[in-house]
Amino acid sequence: MRFQDKVVWLTGASSGIGEALAYQFANEGAKLIISSRRIKELERVQQNIHGECLIIPIDITDSISLDNAVNHTIEHYGKIDVLVNNAGISQRSLAVDTQALVDRKIMEVNYFGTINITKKILPHMIKNGSGQIVVISSLVGKFGFPLRSAYAASKHALHGFFETLQLELKAYRDISITIICPGRIKTNISLNALNNDGSVYGKMDEGQDKGMSADICAQKIVTSIYQKKREVYIGGVDIVMVYLKRYLPSLFYWIARRINPT
Ligand SMILES: NC(=O)c1ccc[n+]([C@@H]2O[C@H](COP(=O)([O-])OP(=O)(O)OC[C@H]3O[C@@H](n4cnc5c(N)ncnc54)[C@H](OP(=O)(O)O)[C@@H]3O)[C@@H](O)[C@H]2O)c1
């Protein structure tokens, strides 16, 4: 019960990693707030949880609904101990073909939505003198990868923002930032990914299908959050690419050109 009575707000809790995190945190005694756009899916998740679990529907790109959601949550629980920024969408299209509206949409959800809710909750954590902000980035936040130009850009941008925040918060010893970088995890992310024109890709990629289970990923994430790690890589052999990019970049590019991106 490492999160007994801690108030944990999960975005993107209606499926995949977010849903698995909801169950892990509930098992650890947390009081949950679960958010995403699809209320029916959030209700399904809530029904699987025995402890406290408040549904706050949000579209992460809608700033006004975020204001209402934050006010409602603070009124209900009085504080937020852990914010897990998990909501996100991916992409399956070549950069050269991708329409600007798709680049913008992915940045709106993955980057602007995430920093927007973070900035609304951070002042409450500063007032309370404690809190933890978690961001689910990706290994693709550490290197570029084919068919994911906007997605990789949005995740790289998160690193710039949250690494800066880690430094700026040095005066607040009890407020921490944890950046999580999963590799391929078996969720609906490829089904929900966007094509070059903004239509939905709608396929379970082979690479996704062979990925780590969302439950194991969520277990590792919860432990990393508990340990207040600064940056964590979760996955299989794909993690090696982070170190190849850093120490043997020529080999990284040689391999990355040959990996099947779907
Ligand atoms: N699966 C992987 O291989 C992998 C690897 C690295 C990183 N990640 C990251 O992990 C996070 C979760 O992805 P997943 O794999 O669990 O995919 P997923 O099953 O497609 O889940 C995505 C979640 O984000 C929510 N969401 C999407 N757009 C939203 C919006 N505008 N407002 C609010 N919520 C929104 C979705 O809920 P609604 O549709 O109900 O709004 C859903 O709950 C993402 O940030 C993703 O980039 C995944």
Q: Give the per-residue pLDDT at 36.
A: 98
Does residue 257 lie within any of the structural domains? no
Residues with pLDDT less than 70, the chain: none
Residues labelled as active-site residues? 151
* CA-nearest residue, atom 20 of ligand 1: 189
Q: Are 143 and 242 in contact (CB under 8 A)?
A: yes
Instruction: Give the predicted TM-score (pTM) of the model.
Output: 0.97
Does residue 28 lie within any of the structural domains? yes
Does residue 49 lie within any of the structural domains? yes
Does residue 154 lie within any of the structural domains? yes
Pocket probe for ligand 1: among 135, 143, 185, the residue whose CB has the most ligand atoms within 8 Å is 185
Q: Which structural domain, as residue segments, surrounds residue 29? A: 7-236
Query: Which residue in this structure is represented by tokens 């590792």?
Result: 220
The closest-lying atom of ligand 1 relative to the alpha carbon of residue 191 is: 20
Looking up residue 125, the CATH number of its domain turns out to be: 3.40.50.720
Phi then psi dihedrals of residue 243, to 5 deg: -75, -35
Does residue 259 lie within any of the structural domains? no
Residues with CB under 6 A from ligand 1: 11-18, 36-38, 41, 58-61, 86-90, 109, 136, 138, 182, 184-185, 187-189, 192, 208, 211
Domain count, the chain: 1
CA distances (Å), origin 230, targets 12, 20, 83, 166, 227:
21, 21, 15, 8, 9
Q: Give the per-residue pLDDT at 129.
A: 95
Tokens encoding 161: 């923002």
Find the 217 Cα to ligand 1 centroid distance in Å. 14
Does residue 229 lie within any of the structural domains? yes
Q: Give the per-residue pLDDT at 118.
A: 98
Q: Give the per-residue pLDDT at 83.
A: 98
Does residue 38 lie within any of the structural domains? yes
Find the 82 Cα to ligand 1 centroid distance in Å. 18
Does residue 106 lie within any of the structural domains? yes
Q: Give the per-residue pLDDT at 105.
A: 98
Q: Give the per-residue pLDDT at 151.
A: 98
Q: Give the per-residue pLDDT at 63.
A: 94
